[in-house]
Amino acid sequence: MNITAAKYYRSPELSGDPNSIKATIDGQELFVPIDTNNTHYKAIQAWVADGNTIEAAD
Amino acid sequence: MANTTVPAELVSDSVYERKNLIINGAMQIAQRAASVTASSSADAIHTVDRFRTETSGGSYDVQQSTDHPNGYKYSQMVTMSGAFTPSASQYLIPFEQRIEGDSLQRLAYGTSDAKKLTLSFWIKSTKTGTYVVELSNNNSGGQRKYSQSYTISSADTWEHKTLTYAGDTSTAFEDGTASELTLFWWMTAGTTYTSGTLATAWEDNTSANRAVGVPSSVADNDSWQLTGVQLEASDEATPFEHLTFDEDYAFCKRYYQKYSGFHAMAMWTYGRSNGSMQFMLEKQMRAKPTFSYSGTLGSLQTDSHCGIYESDWVTISSLSAGSASSASNSRMVRIDSAHPSNTFASANVAVGFYAGSSFFLIFDSEI
């Protein structure tokens, strides 16, 4: 998977910790749950391990 | 006529259970697309559900083909778009399927009762030669590999292949929803994967032993087609377990769901620029899914029937989704919509979500 952007996301109506990540993967905008069983989230974790950073939520 | 009693030990376990560990082996479900042109995306499912295509350099077209052996309706076809001569570390795997650990516990791997696996499939290619199907036990303690070669004898002819793999008494398939067994159909590879001795029994991962004997290159327009894929706990291949479209579709929805054709789906507004709806998935997925949508929301205000209806069509700037529930893997998903500033007259009003057949909500929980 080619990840080019990742930013934490929470619903504008909700407070608390973000529960997903808005990411651009293989050119597509995806909303990825923060769940270690999710394949895209695993890929984002690997992307972070390579030195990349997930932007903070708005 | 007298009845004949068959001793239980002479009957394969497969008779008593859904025997095929492969999902969508007849290639009849293709939720994503019927065809994709000139893709070189590594490690992706392009058309037929559950079947990945993986390469580290080649470019190809992928399609759900209506060319098939007798008794089937579809195959998956991968056609090279340009020649590909892999460097040492490059490869082409046009067909791949990953199987969850919780589907594999009946195989008793890692015990003295580990069962043999028999893989059978129909294949057709423009290119004769020797190819390899590799089984990979993705155990977190270290991968185990087992490769077998087969020959495509005649070009452009459907051939049925059967490969039997001994059980691995030393290493279990870990339980859970992660990918624990992967099947790779190798079609070409560089020396990193071909310079050793083919792993013809379960062994710890040695890259050089994974695809020994496959062609060192493929040409423009070379193609491979696959269907009737069955992996069963058996010493020999048994007839393919044909499922109905609905049965295959139901199995695929554990990994991918795609919806279209929304008409007056209930939403509500919060603030004057945002809306939200609760969406219920048709069935629980393998894990919390990734959400996306296709369709150009911002340009669908009036004439393409995609928008939020209040007193008039209004523009949706974007959709987004977070987990709607604290449940570990809920069927309920919250989808938020964003709109130009002060689109709505007020907050807390009910609105209806409309979208035509060319707009899709997509939930992906593949492994």
Q: Mind listing the pLDDT tens digit of every residue in chain B (367 residues)?
A: 567 776 666 666 555 568 999 999 999 999 999 999 877 666 889 999 999 999 988 899 999 999 999 999 999 999 999 999 999 999 999 999 999 999 999 999 999 999 999 999 999 999 999 999 999 999 999 999 999 999 999 999 999 999 999 999 999 999 999 999 999 999 999 999 999 999 999 999 999 999 999 999 999 999 999 999 999 999 999 999 999 999 999 999 999 999 988 776 777 788 878 888 888 999 999 999 999 988 765 433 333 345 565 555 666 777 887 654 545 677 888 888 887 787 777 777 777 777 777 889 999 999 9
d(CA A36, CA A17): 16
Instruction: Give the span between the Cα atoms of B32 and B94, in whole angstroms.
Output: 17
- Indicate the pLDDT class of residue A43, thresholds 50, 70 and 90: very high
Spell out the alpha helix ranges (H) of chain A. 39-49
Interchain pair A18, B288: CB under 8 A: no
**Considering only CB atoms, which chain A residues are within 8 Å of B98?**
none
Cβ-defined contact of B292 to A28 (cutoff 8 Å): yes
Q: Do B288 and A40 touch (CB under 8 A)?
A: no
From the list B270, B291, B366, which residue is nearest A13 (CB)?
B270
Measured at the CA of B95, the angle between CA B67 and CA B76, to 5 degrees, comes to 15
Out of B41, B271, B290, whose CB is closest to A38? B290
How many Cβ pairs within 8 Å bridge chains A and B? 74
- In chain A, count of helices (H) and strands (E)? 1, 3
Q: Which of A9, A37, A42 to mutate to test the interface with B (most CBs of B within 10 A)?
A: A37
d(CA B173, CA B100): 9
Give chain A's radius of gyration (CA, Å): 11
Q: Give A-chain residues touching B364 at CB under 8 angstroms.
A: 30, 39-40
* pLDDT reported for residue B115: 97
Q: What Å distances lie between residue B253 and B245, B258, B322, B347, CA to CA?
A: 12, 9, 20, 35
Q: What is the pLDDT of residue B1?
A: 58
Q: B178 vs A37: CB contact, 8 Å cut-off?
A: yes
Which among A1, A20, A37 has the least Cβ separation from residue B321? A20
Cα separation of B64 and B30, whole Å?
7
Residue B134 and residue B143 in contact, taking contact as beta carbons nearer than 8 Å: no
Tell whether A15 lies on the interface with B, counting CB pairs under 8 A.
Answer: no
Residue of B177, B276, B290 with shortest CB distance to A13: B276
CA distance B243 to B255: 18
Of A9, A35, A40, the CB nearest to B320: A9
Chain A interface includes B334 (CB < 8 A): yes
Q: Is B56 on the interface with A (CB under 8 A)?
A: no
The SS3 of residue A39 is helix
- Are the beta carbons of A22 and A7 closer than 8 angstroms? yes
Q: Residue A37's closest chain B neighbor by CA?
A: B287
Listed by number, the residues of chain A in 26-55 with a beta carbon closer than 8 Å to a beta carbon of chain B are 26, 28-35, 37-40
Cα B255 to the center of its chain, rounded Å: 8
Q: Across the interface, do A31 and B274 touch by the CB < 8 Å criterion?
A: no
Question: Is residue B356 packed enough to be buried (19+ CB in 10 Å), middle (13-18) or exposed (0-12)?
Answer: middle
Rounded to two decimals, the pTM is: 0.91
The number of C-alpha atoms within 13 Å of B27 and in the hemisphere containing its C-beta is 35
A49 Cα to chain B: minimum distance (Å)? 18
Q: Give the chain B residue nearest A21 (alpha carbons).
A: B322
pLDDT value, residue B298: 40
Looking at residue B115, the DSSP 8-state letter turns out to be P
Measured between alpha carbons, how far is B221 from B201 in angstroms, rounded to an integer? 34
Q: ipTM above 0.85?
A: yes
A16-53 as b/e: b if 16+ CB within 10 A: eebbbbbbebeeeebbbbbbebbbbbbbbeebeeeeee
Chain B residue numbers touching A1 (CB-CB < 8 A): 42-43
- Please count the other Cβ atoms lying within 10 Å of the Cβ belonging to residue B87: 11
- Torsion angle of C-alpha atoms B247, B162, B218, B196, degrees rounded to 10: 120
- Does any CB of chain A come closer than 8 Å to the CB of residue B330? no
**Residue B180: which residues within 8 A CB-CB, separation 6 or more?**
B99, B100, B101, B104, B137, B138, B139, B173, B174
Q: Which amino acid is at B303?
A: D
Residue A53's contacts (CB-CB under 8 Å, 6 or more residues apart) are: none
Residue B261 sits at φ, ψ, to 5 deg, of 75, 40
